[in-house]
Structure 1
């Protein structure tokens, strides 16, 4: 009788679990269907609009890119991806957390670099005449003089310089002044900083939700499909700066709070589109209850950045207005608003991968859910504003790495393999100028 009663209890206990699994499975299937439909409709809509002449500068809308087909040259990246899917999860699960971070960083670097060298190489995007390096001769030996006249001389600068504040150029100038000149050194700076977001976000997640969740997230952070644009877009550098600003803040120590503030305060001077990013550290700080002394130190660090630029003759509002004046007559401003309102989200779906779509419907820890939501709200604000209308495969990289954190809520190597395959397909089929 006892055995029979136990059997009945076991059956009763298994039924809710089975129903829960079935509900979750349906949610994942719906999420993947929405993910695929969003991407497909974005490309279909882009093809129709281009045929009608409404998208002259986006030949592979919604991406600012061309179609191509890589084959043999992609084999090293494909082989590495296959090894990484098998090897990285157990490595990050079994080693000390510090070693897990280091190993994941190494995998992230290798993944991004191998994807890049399968085509034109790591440094090729930075050699474009519209990119930041092209303006360094104008800086010369007088960076302070260049900064003071930046807004006034903005119309004469290359496209990317006209669309951004001056800090990125000053960083590249400092790199060259240190003897590390040319696109190769600049590319190494961008990729190493961009891939380091893997480590910074994992450090943050450890504070938000514990070490187990951080370890679980590491393989997905390292093998993100966004690596296609982490190597090599300057926005990857911005992603690294922002991620480390959040990580230093949530560590909660007053003596590093100032450094967190400097990094976070630098973001608006790297890209005007990073103002909404500041929602992420605010949410993360609230979740972990950052001490008041650390908050004050961070505010002081951010204020010091603003003060330094003001003393150098660059006022952020004036720069933003000048950039808007340059952007308004640009072909990018004529892109159809309603199409990109939806299609930019299709690009976001692509670069975060199917595992992110699946992970978004899982019950993630509150802290992880909070920062992913903060990044999502920031992206939606940019999307609705119409300021980032196209080219978000690179522009949204600082946000993409946080939204992609949801992929870590998926389970099993098949989802990690799906991320790798997505990255390989993007690299194989998309010829991007960055």
Structure 2
């Protein structure tokens, strides 16, 4: 079907009928359209309101346990020897963005991953080597605290749920983060310790290294669903993802790396892809499907809440069905089989996922969450989410909605042309699937505060919407999103 490329200047161009020349945007002071400005301003207002109301609630007897609402952070302006490295990463990102359309795909992916890894390390070192890296996971609330209690894997798994809630002997309960997640998260650090890589440095390095897979996996996912052009536009932006502030160093960054890799491999298995990957051998698809299923299964045993990424999986399945019909079901069976293998292994070892979730719900509602008012956090969570993804996420959401409306209007009118390219439609759906997962988590009431970190996986998926930006808008978005991370990291002590 013939398509027309939408303008980089805003969403209004999506509605321009064929034959009419585009508006003269040469004198615009901003590459963004009116809807973009409204979205960005609304995001900033939401963040300001969440901060102001949060401080007011704290002053009037509501203990939010948030030093700087809506974030779990302390006001602490500082610089570190990671500061010049982070600025260098931003400059390299701008250079990579200028050349992204020319570099061979494989090399571009490698450069994007290296840039993201450097970005993670540099932001971590802004807080100092010990404070920003080594000491983070040595906190008594973190996973390493309970590793000495694990004598063997079978006993750990079979009795794990018994120690989630406080009960009659609070001292026997797992520490905060161990109790708050399925056991695979703790087992990952236990295995690292058994390999002789003990302590905060190696645990932090694991989070950074695995977390660095998230941005690259997102770009691969976009390529599989939307094509190579939007993936190339997204890569520099994803490499400097602002949520990197919380990826290094936190286990949630590790979760994001595993989850996004699982989604990307699932897309490789189920969708037709693009370019030289259009027709993959059956064995390659099966291998990708099995690996994707295993990683998605592992994701469910790393974090209960990440099962909401099933929304994204449904989108991938729908794309596979649309492109390949019932043939995609065979590969879906392989993906499902991989995920079920992980579930079966944990169940046979003695851990019941649903029992663990039920026990966690009891502990959660009798812990600090009971002090945090739902009426505030149900919207303040979104402000924290916007900070983690940068307020430009609001622009991505508005553009995604505009793309889908344009496609729907074209379909209803029976037009042969569409104002939105197929790739943009796929990007829009992917962006909104990440936002949908976050909204479901928000409404559940099981995420009161700290969503800047807890929702990292949802944020990475939603960040794909910035691939809808082109030209000057994309360049300013890169500066704005990376600038958000630099401001947060240098003005606040996030504890991560």
Answer yes or no: is the 8 Å Cα contact 1:64–1:391 preserved in 2. Answer: yes
Q: Which residue of 1 aligns with 2:385?
A: 348
Larger helix fraction of residues: 1
TM (norm. structure 2) is 0.81
Alpha-carbon RMSD: 2.1
Given that 1:257 and 1:298 are in contact with CA atoms closer than 8 Å, whether structure 2 keeps it comes out as yes
**1:426 and 2:488 aligned:** yes
Matched, 1:203 2:240: no
CA contact (8 A) 1:356 1:405 kept: no
Q: Does 1:396 align with 2:406?
A: no
SS of the aligned residue for 1:17 comes to coil
Partners of 1:44 and 1:15 lie apart in 2 by 46
Residue pairs, 1:71-110, within 5 angstroms = 71=79, 73=81, 75-110=83-118
* Aligned counterpart for 1:250 among listed residues 267, 270, 277: 267
What residue in structure 2 maps to residue 132 of structure 1? 143
1:145 corresponding residue in structure 2:
155
2:174 maps to what in 1? 157
Separation (CA, whole Å) in 2 of partners of 1:287 and 1:338: 37
Give CA deviations for 1:159-187 in whole Å, capped at 9, x if unaligned. 11111110101111112222222221111
Deviations 1:247-278 (A, max 9, x none): 11111212321221111112221111112111
Q: Number of residue pairs matched?
A: 422
The 1-side partners of 2:64 and 2:429 are apart by 39
Give the Cα–Cα distance (whole angstroms) in 1 for the partners of residues 64 and 215 of structure 2. Answer: 36
Q: Secondary structure at the match of 1:57?
A: coil
- Residues of 1 paired with 2:231 and 2:79: CA distance? 35
CA drift at 1:304: 1.0
Question: What residue is the counterpart of 1:172 in the other structure?
Answer: 189
- Does the alignment pair 1:406 with 2:465? yes
Q: Using the alignment, how far apart are the partners of 1:218 and 1:83 within structure 2?
A: 15
Deviation at 1:17, TM superposition (A): 1.6
Does the alignment pair 1:259 with 2:288? no
Secondary structure of 2:162's match? coil
Q: Do the aligned residues in 2 keep the contact of 1:220 with 1:405 (CA within 8 Å)?
A: no
Note the C-alpha offset of 1:75.
3.1
Q: Counterparts in 2 of 1:292-307, with a 5 A limit?
A: 292-307=329-344
Distance of 2:438 and 2:64 partners within structure 1: 25
Residue aligning to 1:220: 237
- Is the counterpart of residue 317 in structure 1 residue 354 in structure 2? yes
Query: Is the contact made by 2:83 and 2:122 (CA closer than 8 Å) also made in structure 1?
Result: no
CA distance in 2, matches of 1:227, 1:381: 23
CA distance in 2, matches of 1:145, 1:82: 47
1:301-341: per-residue Cα shift (whole Å, max 9, x none)?
A: 11111111111110011111111121121012320101111
Q: Match for residue 446 of structure 2?
A: 387
The answer for unaligned runs of 5 or more in structure 2 is 1-16, 167-172, 270-284, 404-422
CA distances 1:170-208 after superposition (whole Å, capped 9, x unpaired): 111112222222221111111111111111111111111
Question: Does 1:338 find its partner at 2:400?
Answer: no
Q: 174-183 or 424-433: which moved more?
A: 174-183
Deviations along 1:20-44, whole A, 9 cap, x unmatched?
9999611111111111111111111
Q: C-alpha distance in 2, partners of 1:45/1:230?
A: 27
Contact 2:431–2:465, Cα closer than 8 Å, also in 1: yes
Q: CA deviation at 1:92?
A: 2.9
- 1: CA distance between counterparts of 2:149 and 2:287? 38
- Determine the structure 2 residue equivalent to 1:17: 22
> Secondary structure at 1:121's aligned position in 2?
helix
Alpha-carbon distance in 1 for matches of 2:362, 2:457:
25
Selected match of 1:33 from 16, 41, 62: 41
Instruction: Give how far 1:135 is off.
Output: 0.9
Query: How far apart are residue 427 of structure 1 and its match?
Result: 0.2
Closer/same/farther in 2, CA of residues 19 and 55 from structure 1, 3 Å limit: farther
Rounded to whole Å, the distance in 2 between the matches of 1:95 and 1:124 is: 39
Structure 1 position 63, deviation (Å):
1.0
Q: Do the aligned partners of 1:46 and 1:61 also contact (CA within 8 Å) in 2?
A: yes
User: 8 Å contact 2:397–2:431 — kept in the other structure?
Assistant: no
Q: Distance in 2 between matches of 1:200 and 1:403?
A: 13
Superposition misfits of 4+ residues, deviation over 6 angstroms: 12-15, 19-24
> Does the 8 Å contact 1:284/1:367 carry over to 2?
no
